Amino acid sequence: MTDWILPLGLLLFGLITGVIGEKFIFKKLEKFAVKKEIPGSHIIFKALRRMPFIWFTLAGLSAAIVSAPLKPDIIILLQRITKIAFLSSVTLVLANLVSGFVRLYTHKTERATASLIANLAKACVLVLGALLLLQTLGIEITPIVTTLGISGLAVGLALQDTLANIFSGFYLIISKQVRTGDYVKLDAGQEGYVTDITWRNTTIRELSNNVIIVPNSKLASAIFTNYHLPAKEITLTMKVGVSYDSDLEEVERITVEVAKEVMREIAPELIVNEPYIRFHTFGDFSIDYTLYMRVSEYFDQRIGKHLFIKKLHKRYQQAGISIPFPVRTVYVQNSDKV
């Protein structure tokens, strides 16, 4: 029994050190990083969660195995199991780190994350880690890679639709025709914000908070309008008509003033792009014009129209400018019945 005191002590020391490292040191470092707002710290600590305990425990176990009175073949087997566990945990940490930083990068550049890229990066790290693990264990990986290549060809033929969606997703992301966060309208009439591009589907959230699922291959071949390209800012247009006895100079002045007032409320950063109107039609009941006013994004058109109509109607009433409505005069001629 005395031969097992040192191995058990080393194992216990590893466990205690792991608990201390996880519960105290790791937690304090995490709080410090959050307090200092270190970029990417939340990704690092999320990937490393529970790992200090596992690694210290494995270190204690490895030391205990070496000092334990065991047969050489058993020691070799246990060391190999410990190495497998350690390399697997390191691979998992690296995969989570790569995936997390890819998501962080796409979030900064595209306003949201496309999980297709993040998941692909994570899968690549996991595959490379698995191959490295096999090679470390003395397993020849060249036949495995060759077999995977041949099998991949057969699987690719069987999964043509899935691969089409994957490559279409990459095409959409790389070409930047659709980015997460963009507001798009499909030729079928559906519209909303792109929330994610996965390996199979693109998710679009409607303004009513419903979700539209579109296969990537369908979206790549569809005709759609992206209201955030080439820029998020768009021009709001409103068609209005005024009576024929209106002073058109006054109409223009008041309308532009109201449009500027609305822009100061909803898009003050765009006020340098002054709104304007253009008269274009002598209608049956009115002289018609179109207002052109910049707003920050597609969705702001709703609040922009709402405020503009309210404010313009009030200002027109104060100025005595009328917006005519259609009037029809019907003459009925009575004829004597024969």
Q: CA angle at residue 83 from 77 to 85, to 5 degrees?
A: 105
Q: What is the mean pLDDT of the chain?
A: 82
As a whole number of angstroms, the distance between CA 224 and CA 186 comes to 4
Instruction: Please state which CATH number belongs to domain 176-226.
Output: 2.30.30.60
Instruction: Please report, for residues 169, 188, 217, 299, 316, the alpha-carbon distance to residue 214 in angstroms, rounded to integers and kept in the order given.
Output: 11, 11, 8, 21, 46
- Percent over 70 (pLDDT), the chain: 86
Instruction: Identify the pLDDT of residue 337.
Output: 53
pLDDT band at 112 (very low <50, low <70, confident <90, very high): very low
Which overall architecture, per CATH, does domain 234-319 show? 2-Layer Sandwich (3.30)
Question: Domain ranges in the chain?
Answer: 2-158, 176-226, 234-319
- Nearest C-alpha neighbor of 3 from the set 88, 74, 68, 80: 68
As a whole number of angstroms, the distance between CA 151 and CA 47 comes to 32
As a whole number of angstroms, the distance between CA 203 and CA 230 comes to 21
Q: Per residue in 245-286, pLDDT tens?
A: 999 999 999 999 999 999 999 999 998 889 999 999 998 889
Read off the amino acid at residue 163: L
C-beta of residue 234 within 8 angstroms of C-beta of residue 200? no
As a whole number of angstroms, the distance between CA 93 and CA 181 comes to 29
Instruction: Identify the pLDDT of residue 127.
Output: 79
Q: CA angle at residue 187 from 231 to 233, to 5 degrees?
A: 15
Higher pLDDT, residue 318 or 69: 318
Residue identified by tokens 């792009």 is 273
* pLDDT of residue 335 exceeding 70: no
Instruction: Identify the pLDDT of residue 314.
Output: 94
Q: Per residue in 182-240, pLDDT tens?
A: 899 998 888 899 988 887 888 999 988 899 999 888 888 888 889 888 888 889 999 99
As a whole number of angstroms, the distance between CA 179 and CA 172 comes to 8
Q: Which tokens sit at 323?
A: 């917006």
Q: Among 82-91, 113-122, 166-175, 289-298, which stretch is predicted with the lowest mean pLDDT?
A: 113-122
Using DSSP's 3-state secondary structure scheme, residue 200 falls into coil
Instruction: Identify the pLDDT of residue 211.
Output: 92
Which phi-psi region, left, alpha or beta, contains residue 192 (left: φ > 0; alpha: ψ -120 to 50)?
A: left
Give the torsion sign (CA, 188, 194, 199, 201). negative
Residue identified by tokens 């003033």 is 257
pLDDT band at 3 (very low <50, low <70, confident <90, very high): confident
Q: In what order do the strands lie in the sheet with 234-242?
A: 234-242, 287-295, 276-282
Q: Per residue in 144-175, pLDDT tens?
A: 656 655 555 555 444 567 777 777 887 787 77
Which phi-psi region, left, alpha or beta, contains residue 111 (left: φ > 0; alpha: ψ -120 to 50)?
A: left
As a whole number of angstroms, the distance between CA 332 and CA 27 comes to 90
Strands (E), 63-142: none
Q: Which tokens sit at 299?
A: 């969705």
* pLDDT of residue 108 exceeding 70: no
